[in-house]
Amino acid sequence: MITSQEYKKRLMKLRRNVYMDGQLISRDDPRLEGAANCIAKTYDVMSDPDFKDYEDILTATSHLTGKKISRFCHIHQSITDLLAKQKATRLVSHQVGGCIQRCMGIDSTNANSVASWEADQKYGTEYNKRFLNWLRDFQENDRSACCAQTDVKGNRPQRPGEQLDPDVYVHRVETLSDGIVIRGAKVHNSNSSVVEWIPVIPTRRLVEDEKDWAVSCMVPADDPNVKLVVSATRFGGHKDLGQPGPYGTADSLTVFDNVFVPWEHVFLNGEYDIGGRLALLFALYHRHSYTGCKPAMTDVLMGAVALMAECNGIEGKSHVQERLADMICTSELCYGTGIAAGINGTRSGSGTFIPDIVFCNASRRHAGMNIYHEFDALADVAGGMPATLPLEGDWLSEETKKFVEKYMTRNPKVSAEDQHRAFRWVQDISCSEFAGVSQYAGVHGGGSPRMEQIAILNSYDVERVKNIAKRLAGIPVKEKYTFDRLGKMPVK
Ligand SMILES: Cc1cc2nc3c(=O)[nH]c(=O)nc-3n(C[C@H](O)[C@H](O)[C@H](O)COP(=O)(O)OP(=O)(O)OC[C@H]3O[C@@H](n4cnc5c(N)ncnc54)[C@H](O)[C@@H]3O)c2cc1C
């Protein structure tokens, strides 16, 4: 396993292809620092003595080499692995105050491990062998990846094959003797500018005449024909206040401008049915990761509510208690459902474990529908101060410090410095550019609540529960009673 310094050193070796606000920038641009620091933390915790007790969840044994590797490079071999990934995600999210920015890579990697194997069984291809060769290097060298799934999609109601411009869904434009050429663009692509690999996978189910869009491949993040048009936000890192970070996000419009992908990095090429399956598998693994990070996000916001209550001297008040109880229920219901998704997981033909589809989607949907309520709770308990807090320099300048401290202090048990720290941090996480991105990410990242609704209803046997009602109503039912719901991802 590598250190965070080595991770950052590798980023600096990548070719410049990151654009921000009209300029070609270097990967050490301070605006990318927030996202890079989150990923760096996933490396730091591996060797940090403070996290020694969590070694069994942060590391894993590679099923390929038998060596100890980072959990964030592992292919889940058991229910225990699924639970460990969920815990590791919550643990690191607590350290960075939100998204760990490394889950997309491991989720797409697990999804590819299943889909490439299934394609081989059905079509006699050798995608899984290629994928495992790539994976060996990924694990051995502790590499980082994102996931480019969401296509720009053009006119929403039209399928990929019906769009005026075929490039609005990334597709194969040429098949050569040594590989394929792809063109198009993905959007909302988190961390593409601070990782080494960009896995490209389909967004949705595909039909037979959409084979060109059924592509799964691995593209180096600095490929000469890839352009990353990035927007980024960050928070924290106020050194005078002793805060960790900065931590943040960096998302891109990722343009694939006729990118050549050699066969060794192509894991699907036209198998439209498996392309759709891969899209759903990634979404499922990613929503499973959310059962770790979303509870952590609620923990962070809940901690902020409790801290604001302390600063304001209103800790025991009934509205504060009610808000805290609501938040505990949100975080632990999402987490508990994630645990259930792991326990109810199944082994796919490839050997990779797949979490339960209904539990994962129910957890993610519940989190997505509650995110604005959580920010509402924080604003309620904090009062208006995060919006109009005097600027940092005014807390530190000799001329204004004594007035700011005197008039900003509330609960006498909390020092003026700590009041400042608390309100500055709450401003950062709830009343800033970063906060706005977090809120949208809370609704849409990993799939919108609407998509989770579709996933749940497509896999849930509503007839089974209707039959329960019919029996109780005295209406004859032919089907035999079954206690268990269906709704697992089918195993092939
Ligand atoms: C902060 C953030 C980070 C993200 N990171 C990643 C990432 O790293 N990788 C990645 O691949 N994706 C990522 N996503 C993408 C995320 O999965 C999508 O935002 C989500 O799937 C919704 O897609 P969209 O944003 O294109 O919304 P849209 O598709 O534009 O949806 C807008 C509205 O139109 C509706 N709609 C869309 N299509 C139809 C239709 N055919 N019929 C009826 N209604 C329709 C939707 O339900 C919604 O109400 C990220 C998103 C965010 C916000």
> How far does the centroid of ligand 1 lie from the alpha carbon of residue 450, in Å?
10
Question: For a pocket test of ligand 1, which of 156, 201, 438 has the largest count of ligand atoms closer than 8 A to its C-beta?
Answer: 156
The tens digit of pLDDT for each residue in 65-106 reads 999 999 999 999 999 999 999 999 999 999 999 999 999 999
Q: Whose CA is nearest to atom 20 of ligand 1?
A: 447
Q: Give, as one character, the DSSP assignment of residue 148.
A: B
Give the pLDDT confidence score for residue 357 in this predicted structure. Answer: 95
Q: CA-to-CA distance for 75 and 121, rounded, in angstroms?
A: 19
**pLDDT of 487 strictly over 60:** no
Q: 116 CB contacts (<8 Å, ≥6 apart)?
A: 127, 128, 130, 131, 216, 267, 268, 350
Question: What is the average pLDDT across 274-293?
Answer: 97
Q: Which atom of ligand 1 is nearest to the CA of 104?
A: 8
> How far does the centroid of ligand 1 lie from the alpha carbon of residue 286, in Å?
14
Q: 407 CB contacts (<8 Å, ≥6 apart)?
A: none
- What ranges make up the beta strands (E) of 167-246? 171-176, 179-190, 197-200, 215-220, 226-235
Q: Would you place residue 486 in the very low, low, confident or very high pLDDT band (cuts 50, 70, 90)?
A: low
Q: Whose CA is nearest to atom 25 of ligand 1?
A: 444
- In percent, the amount of the chain with pLDDT more than 70 equals 99
> How far does the centroid of ligand 1 lie from the alpha carbon of residue 443, in Å?
10
> How far does the centroid of ligand 1 lie from the alpha carbon of residue 204, in Å?
11
Question: For a pocket test of ligand 1, which of 39, 169, 188, 361 has the largest count of ligand atoms closer than 8 A to its C-beta?
Answer: 188
The tens digit of pLDDT for each residue in 370-394 reads 999 999 999 999 999 999 999 999 9
Q: Whose CA is nearest to atom 40 of ligand 1?
A: 157
Indicate the helix (H) or strand (E) that contains 338. helix 318-343
Give the pLDDT confidence score for residue 59 in this predicted structure. Answer: 98
The SS3 of residue 356 is coil
> How far does the centroid of ligand 1 lie from the alpha carbon of residue 287, in Å?
14
The SS3 of residue 233 is strand
28, 16 in Cβ contact below 8 A?
no
The tens digit of pLDDT for each residue in 5-60 reads 999 999 999 999 999 999 999 999 999 999 999 999 999 999 999 999 999 999 99
Question: What is the average pLDDT across 460-483?
Answer: 93
Q: CA-to-CA distance for 208 and 99, rounded, in angstroms?
A: 37
Give the pLDDT confidence score for residue 450 in this predicted structure. Answer: 87
Question: What is the average pLDDT across 195-218?
Answer: 97
Buried b (16+ CB within 10 A) or exposed e, 299-328: bbbbebbbbbbbbbebbeeeebeebbebbe
**pLDDT of 143 strictly over 70:** yes
Q: Which atom of ligand 1 is nearest to the CA of 149?
A: 11
> How far does the centroid of ligand 1 lie from the alpha carbon of residue 80, in Å?
31
Rounded to two decimals, what is the model's pTM?
A: 0.96
Q: Whose CA is nearest to atom 11 of ligand 1?
A: 149
Identify the residues whose C-beta falls under 6 Å from ligand 1.
Answer: 104, 146-150, 153, 156-157, 188-190, 251, 437, 440-441, 444-448, 450
Q: Which atom of ligand 1 is nearest to the CA of 203?
A: 11
The tens digit of pLDDT for each residue in 411-470 reads 999 999 999 999 999 999 999 999 999 999 999 998 888 899 999 999 888 999 999 999
Q: Whose CA is nearest to atom 46 of ligand 1?
A: 450
The domains of the chain, with CATH numbers, are: 4-271 (2.40.110.10), 280-456 (1.20.140.10)
308, 422 in Cβ contact below 8 A?
yes
Q: Which atom of ligand 1 is nearest to the CA of 249?
A: 1
The tens digit of pLDDT for each residue in 311-357 reads 999 999 999 999 999 999 999 999 999 999 999 999 999 999 999 99
The tens digit of pLDDT for each residue in 223-257 reads 999 999 999 999 998 988 999 999 999 999 999 99
